[in-house]
Amino acid sequence: MLKKRKRGGPGEINAGSMADIAFLLLIFFLVTTTMDTDVGILRLLPPIVEDITPPEKVKQRNIYEVLVNDADQLLVEGQPMDIKDLREGAKEFMTNPNNSEDLPERTLITRGECEQQVANFRSYVAQATDATDKQNYQKQLEKWEDKLQAVKLLGDYKELPGAAVISLQTGSKTSYNMYVQVQNELEAAVRELRDELSKEKFGKKYTELSDIKEEERDMIRAVRMVFPQRISEAEPVDVTQKEN
Amino acid sequence: MSRFKDKSNKGTPAISTASLPDIIFMLLFFFMVTTVMREVDLKVKVTLPEASEVDKLEDKALVDYIYIGPPVSTSLGTEPLIQLNDQYAKLDEIGPWVKANNDRRQEAEVPRITRSLKVDKDTHMKIVTDVKQELRKSNALKINYSTARGRE
């Protein structure tokens, strides 16, 4: 008996059903798979501030006030507005093309100034004896180093004041859809400005820059310095304090 | 002449199907690698709003989902409810939920976790604002308003 088997070798396994089994598995994965990638508007919420210090007075010109009421109507800077015009409005707020009095004043940042300030704060940091002082100077130094980096890439540029912020407030019965549309328009305004700047300086749109390449990562940071995205909700005062 | 006759008699040889399993397996592996299992059974109806300025969510392992919308079963009314994991939740359950999700991940990953809000587009902002406030309280600051990719 044993001998016989050895001679003939083990009988071949029929692999004909292999395809069926594989098909079954394939269909299972086809059904359970979700191909659509999850997309959405990314936002950072402001952290809750424990100690309530008296809010710093923010100049009215530095706030772009967007209110959405319960009936999904927009009130922008005290004027009713259609959502179609919101993008242009937000862009005007961030660029202030006519140096208007009631829009934020953009200050010119020059290379000389940056170098001067970086040198100043370097020496302050080196000389500082108090730990908290040193930390503050260090922060200032980093801020100016960032600016210097941006100037190197972009040339002299105009900077939005740190207090400039788009404040978005909604009623309790505003629809979520309207809220997302408003967020979308504000996002689009920033994106368009960044795209334009990036295209002009680097010949490539901001959205096409990838943060994997080192030099493009610097470009992204520089463009962000010029057009920061500051949308605040609920408590605009807290956010501006954090920014400063 | 006889040669032609010979051929027609033989007929076309059967195509070998021996490589069929291999091809199917290849497809199978492709789907196995790219697949992401459906996260949870939805207990709320969610129709996402459309937006054009959207970012992709990069790392799906670091995304937690909060669903808000009217319940599927009509016996629960039409008021929007919050769904965490597989069940309905109240506002004050968000804090513990965030903490539980933080704990099951490595510490270094915690700041990178995104909470994706999948909210029905007809929901009123009140509940969304409340949820956001709860997230702030539990220091879950990175959020994503999930949308469908819309036209410009």
Q: Which residues pair with B81 in a beta bridge?
A: B69
Domain membership flag for residue B42: no
Nearest to B123 among A34, A176, A188 (CB): A176
Q: pLDDT exceeding 70 applies to what percent of chain A?
A: 87
- The pLDDT of A126-137, averaged and rounded, is 82
User: Is there a contact between A211 and A220 (Cβ–Cβ < 8 Å)?
Assistant: yes
B62-108 per-position pLDDT tens digit: 888 899 999 988 888 888 899 988 889 888 899 999 999 999 888 88
Q: Which residues pair with A231 in a beta bridge?
A: A166
Contact B136 A48 (CB under 8 A): yes
Q: Which residues of B touch A47 (CB under 8 A)?
A: 136, 139, 141
Confidence band of A72 (pLDDT split at 50, 70, 90): confident
Which range of residues forms the domain containing residue B17?
Answer: 2-34
Cα A208 → chain centroid: 15
Confidence band of A55 (pLDDT split at 50, 70, 90): low
Domain membership flag for residue B40: no
Find the residue in A nearest to B27 (Cα). A26
DSSP state, B78?
Answer: S
Find the residue in B nearest to A20 (Cα). B21
B2-14 per-position pLDDT tens digit: 555 555 556 778 8
What's the structural domain count of chain B? 2
- The pLDDT of A172-201, averaged and rounded, is 89
Residue A107: exposure state from Cβ atoms within 10 A (0-12, 13-18, ≥19): exposed
Which of A42-56, A164-178, B137-151 shows the lowest per-residue confidence on average (mean pLDDT)? A42-56
Same domain, B60 and B26: no
Alpha carbons A25 and A173: distance in angstroms, whole number: 47
Same domain, B20 and B58: no
For residue A52, the model assigns a pLDDT of 62
Mutate to test the interface with B, among A23, A33, A42 (most CBs of B within 10 A): A42
Domain membership flag for residue B41: no
Same domain, B100 and B142: yes
Same domain, B71 and B139: yes
Same domain, B144 and B75: yes
Find the residue in B nearest to A182 (Cα). B51
DSSP state, B71?
Answer: B
B123 touches chain A (CB under 8 A): yes
User: Is there a contact between B147 and B54 (Cβ–Cβ < 8 Å)?
Assistant: yes
- The pLDDT of A81-90, averaged and rounded, is 89
Going from the C-alpha of B136 to that of each of A153, A166, A211, the distances in angstroms are: 36, 20, 28
Same domain, B12 and B54: no
Alpha carbons B101 and A110: distance in angstroms, whole number: 47
Q: At what angle do helices A131-154 and A111-127 cross, to 10 degrees?
A: 160
The structural domains of chain A, with segments of one domain joined by +, span 60-106+160-243, 108-155
Q: Which residues pair with A43 in a beta bridge?
A: B143
Number of residues written out for chain A? 244
Same domain, B95 and B131: yes
A235 touches chain B (CB under 8 A): no
Query: Does the ipTM surpass 0.90?
Result: no
B135 has pLDDT over 80: yes
Confidence band of A240 (pLDDT split at 50, 70, 90): very low
Domain membership flag for residue B45: no
User: Is there a contact between B17 and B54 (Cβ–Cβ < 8 Å)?
Assistant: no
Q: What is the CATH number of the domain that holds B56?
A: 3.30.420.270
DSSP letters spanning A65-85? EEEE-TTS-EEETTEEE-HHH
Alpha carbons A86 and A84: distance in angstroms, whole number: 6
